[in-house]
Amino acid sequence: MTESPNNPPDADSAEPDAAANRRSLLRAALIGGGVVGMGGLAGFAGKRLFLTEREARPKPPLGPEFTYDVSRFQQTDPAMVKFTEEKRFATGMERPRALALGADGSICVGDGSGLRRFSAAGEMLEEMPLALPVYSVAARPGGGWFVGHAGGIRVLDAAGTEAGWWAQPEGKFVPTSIAVTGAAIYVADAGGRVVVKLDPKGKKIAVIGARDLDRNLRGFVVPSPYFCVRMAPDGLLRIANPGEHQIEAFTTDGDLEIAWGRGSFAVEGFCGCCNPVSFEVFPDGSFVTCEKGLPRVKLYDAHGGFSGLVAGPEAFPEYLKAANAGTPEVLNVGIYAAIDAQGRVIVLDSVGATVRIMRRKEAAP
């Protein structure tokens, strides 16, 4: 922009003016070219530096010691899997966490908004909307269901209409499992950390498993709403003590007889802080157990010896995806199992909201 100093400012002649014009045009052209060139260069550099840099960085530059990795436990030896999937169907429910079989073999599943009953073929037979979230469900002798809600047990008759409400006085009653025998109904109360024994009319008869060091009862450690009770064929109750990674045998009067189980991420033990979340007893007294965190459905003999898997973590891809992402979707969901009359294991996966029917593999010759 510097005008030559020996060019008088008030020159009248047209010649230097034209020269100046040419010069400024040239300069303008130079600048225009420069702008275009710089723009191209900037665009190229931007594309190379920023866009690709951001895309090509799927993992942070943190060392492996800063990453929580249990992937080595998420794969199991196929030889240990003793069951095979016969059928799978979607429940269409939101994070179902209650499972029971009816006397007719129908499959009842409960979630936050009620119950659905499915045939073994996966057809929905009945839908029972309920005002409270369902924590547990059990078949009622003679038809109908016992449904566990926070604060009480709802009794439904065979037609699905309400036949009673057994309110529980404790403010934190969370019935996560119900076991029904001819004489009594046993409700595992995860909030109170005891098993409540009710008579068939719903009257509380006894409380089992409360901490009592004189009776050698250390109490149940239930850190989260997963607490399971079942009646075994030997007449003893089996109650999971998830915080201790054990299944404990109690008499119906509340005396602790035996316990088995240990905590381990390895397939023989119960993983995480609080497992098993649920279990079921075969007619021969052996067990099928369910774990959360690492979704595993496993088999133990009547004395607690590990004998194989029904399904390993790799069988629950939706669950694993949620668990590995670590978002709250994986909180308060579980794996639940039931055993039908043919000895098949019915598995409910909360995350996938699916029911699988697992059949024992033919014994190898």
Partner 1 sequence: MRRAAGWIMLVCLLALAPVAFGVERFPPPDFTDHKVPHLVVPGPETRGVGWIDVVVLSVGLLWASWLSLKGRSRRGVVVLSILSLLYFGFWRRGCVCAIGSIQNVALGLADPTYAVPLSVVALFTLPLVVALVWGRSFCSGVCPHGAIQDLVLVKPVKVPTWLDEVLRVLPWIHLAAGVLLAATGGMFLICKYDPFVGIFRMAGPRVMLVAGVAMLVLSMFVGRPYCRYLCPYGALLGVASRFARWRPTVTPGACTQCRLCETSCPFGALNPPQPVATARERVAGARRRLVLLVVLLPLAAWGFAWIGGRAALLSMPLHPQGKLAALVAAEARGEISPPLPDELLAFHQHGADLPAAMSSAMALEKRFLMLGRVIGGLFGLVIALKLARILFPEPTPDYETDSGRCVSCARCFSACPYELLRRGVPVAVPEKGGRNG
Partner 2 sequence: MSKESDLSRRELLKTTIRGIGLLGFGGTGGYLVGRESQSETRWQIDADKCIQCGRCATDCVLEVSAVKCVHTHGMCGYCKLCTAYFEPEPVNLDEGAENQLCPTGAIARKFIEEPYYEYNILRDLCVGCGKCVKGCNMFGNGSMYLQVNHDLCINCNMCAIAVTCPAQAFRQLPASSPYKLRGKGEGGK
Which residues contact partner 1 by CB under 8 A?
A: 1-3, 5, 7-12, 17, 24-25, 27-28, 30-32, 34-35, 38-39, 42-43, 46-47, 50-51, 54-55, 58-59, 94, 112-113, 131-133, 150-151, 171-174, 190-191, 193, 221, 223-225, 321-322, 324-325, 327-329, 331-332
Binding status of residue 323 toward partner 2 by CB under 8 A: yes
The partner in contact with residue 362, picked from partner 2, partner 1, none with C-beta cut-offs of 5 to 8 angstroms by kind, is: none
User: Least distance to partner 1 from the beta carbon of 43, Å?
Assistant: 7
Per CB under 8 A, 36 contacts partner 2? no
Report what 43 binds from partner 2, partner 1, none; CB cut-off 5-8 Å by kind: partner 1
Q: Does 70 bind partner 2 (CB under 8 A)?
A: yes
Cα within 13 Å of Cα(293), Cβ side: 21
Strands 204-208 and 229-231: unpaired
Both tokens of residue 333? 């969901």
Please, which residue, 37 or 233, has the CB nearer to partner 1? 37
Q: How far is the CB of 3 from partner 1 (least distance, A)?
A: 6
6 is a site residue for partner 2 (CB under 8 A): no
Count CB neighbours of 244 within 10 A. 18
Range in contact with partner 2 (rule: CB under 8 A) among 18-26, 169-177, 267-275, 334-342: 267-275
Burial category of 12 from C-beta neighbours within 10 Å (exposed 0-12, middle 13-18, buried 19 and up):
exposed
| x/- letters, 47..66, toward partner 2 (CB under 8 A) | -------x----xxxxx-xx
Q: What distance in Å separates the CA atoms of residue 360 and residue 81, rounded to the nearest whole number? A: 9
Query: Is 107 an interacting residue with respect to partner 2 (CB under 8 A)?
Result: no
Q: Could you tell me the end-to-end alpha-carbon distance of the chain, in angstroms, rounded to an integer?
A: 97
Question: Which one, 167 or 266, has the nearer CB to partner 2?
Answer: 266
CB of 274 to partner 2, least distance (A): 6
Phi and psi angles of residue 110, each rounded to the nearest 5 degrees, phi first: -120, 145
Q: Please, which residue, 7 or 84, has the CB nearer to partner 1? A: 7
Between 225 and 285, whose beta carbon lies closer to partner 2?
225
Of residues 32 and 105, the one with the C-beta less far from partner 1 = 32
Please, which of residues 326-365 interact with partner 2 by CB under 8 A? 326-328, 330-331
Is the CB of 76 or the CB of 91 nearer to partner 2? 76
Burial of 285: CB neighbours in 10 Å, binned 0-12, 13-18, 19+: middle
- The contact set with partner 2 (CB under 8 A) reads 54, 59-63, 65-68, 70, 73, 218, 221, 223-224, 243-245, 263-266, 271-274, 292-293, 323-328, 330-331
